[in-house]
Amino acid sequence: MANVTVIGAQWGDEGKGKIVDWLASRADVVVRFQGGHNAGHTLVVGDQVYKLSLLPSGIVTGTLSIIGNGVVLDPWALKAEIEKLTAQGVSIHAENFAIADNCPLILPLHRDLDGLREVAAGSGKIGTTGRGIGPAYEDKVGRRAIRVCDLAHLDAMDAQLARLCAHHDALRAGFGQPPVDRAALLEELREIAPFVLQYAQPVWKRLKKVRKAGARILFEGAQGVLLDVDHGTYPFVTSSNTVSGTAASGSGLGPNSTGFVLGIVKAYTTRVGSGPFPTELEDAVGQRLGERGHEFGTVTGRKRRCGWFDAVLVRQSCAISGVTGIALTKVDVLDGFDKVKICTGYRLHGKVLDYFPSHAADQAAVEPIYEEMDGWEGTTAGARSWADLPAQAIKYIQRVQELIETPVALVSTSPEREDTILVRDPFID
């Protein structure tokens, strides 16, 4: 049995929650390895809808769920999310949930800085969720972060807190804001510490143990490859690496543990926030995609920008992240279109490109080259086998996998867990 790493192969919001939930029912462990509570996953199980931002999707099924060291953790957001899920009947305790004790914390001062920067940037804003993710990662690499393990040593962190606040006080002064209230921050940490510490442990050690016992591990990524801080549409990216390789460094297991890499790919393209989007449709077709796909962010509630499927971007994501197979989601949103289009290349200043360039000006200037296909009259919604799909929908799926040079492993035809066509089993292949 193989382990499975799930990543988004576009700009996030590809439907990872449903796929991870489907896989989690067959896994022994689910691990979040990067990002923070800026990620939004919606799970539909029977008549229950669960909205997760920080917790691994496996927690809903009682699967051992772990937040790895590559995640930045807002302890107050964690508490609120656990309380919400508990009210929905989900049991969360130290036996089925663990947090890496070397996980960096998101503090109120990080949220403050995030908001101040976005307001000051005006039209040049990145489009962050304003939840302090970026500033927390900055403090991590700046070696001034407060981590989960520090919550057990709050009486001995005056020097550490002074170093952190000295950095933020200078930034806050530049925005005309008062210094950080260190006493108030310390008191907030004292209040939340017992709640967080009940789940804290060296998770690398626990993962080593369960892996040795033959457990099937599911690594759950957040956002998408096109938001990767190195490989995405920089600077309109998130503050972490979202590629599959991060599963190793962000969990404490080696690179030989990541197994089958499953890229989640929406049958069209969406994006939240600012940044280039070659196939964006600002017309009735884009509006129709957004309405049919219910394209609003799980975390922010912001309306997503919509466009045709971009095979160039997905092919690039699959190559960069070593994707073994894709899970194609929301095919049903394309039901009823007379024609559907796929972007197969770009024109940039008279040249044809088969890749997405790195420079922001070039990214904004590329023009999509489309291939048009007939749509289909029947419905794909709820299909659970190839026989349930219209012939033209099958042709579309086949063309997608040809263009992205990566095979389809799963096809999702609705938000329901069981409305999934299994082509290739990631846990066996």
Name every residue whose Cβ is closer than 8 Å to that of residue 419 and which is 6 or more positions away in sequence: 381, 382, 383, 384, 412, 413
- The residue type found at 341 is K
Q: Which residue in 21, 28, 37, 41 is the catalytic one?
A: 41
Please report how many Cα atoms fall inside a 13 Å half-sphere around the Cα of residue 320, on the Cβ side: 25
DSSP summary character for residue 103: P
| Angstrom distances, CA of residue 45 to CA of 42, 61, 157, 382 | 10, 9, 44, 14
Quote the CA–CA distance of 305 and 274 in Å, as a whole number. Answer: 10
Asked if 318 and 404 touch (Cβ cutoff 8 Å), the reply is yes
Please report how many Cα atoms fall inside a 13 Å half-sphere around the Cα of residue 344, on the Cβ side: 12
Quote the CA–CA distance of 329 and 14 in Å, as a whole number. Answer: 7
168 is catalytic: no
41 is catalytic: yes
Quote the CA–CA distance of 165 and 110 in Å, as a whole number. Answer: 11
- The residue type found at 12 is G
Sign of the C-alpha dihedral computed for residues 231, 236, 227 and 278 taken in this order: negative
Return the residue matching tokens 């439907």. 15
Per DSSP (E only), the strands in 64-193 are 64-67, 97-100
Asked if 310 and 278 touch (Cβ cutoff 8 Å), the reply is yes
Asked if 89 and 47 touch (Cβ cutoff 8 Å), the reply is no
Q: Which residue in 13, 74, 101, 139 is the catalytic one?
A: 13
| Angstrom distances, CA of residue 356 to CA of 244, 329, 360 | 19, 23, 10
Return the residue matching tokens 């001062």. 109
Asked if 109 and 185 touch (Cβ cutoff 8 Å), the reply is yes
Asked if 419 and 412 touch (Cβ cutoff 8 Å), the reply is yes
Helix (H, G, I), strand (E, B) or coil at 119: helix
Q: Which residues are catalytic?
A: 13, 41
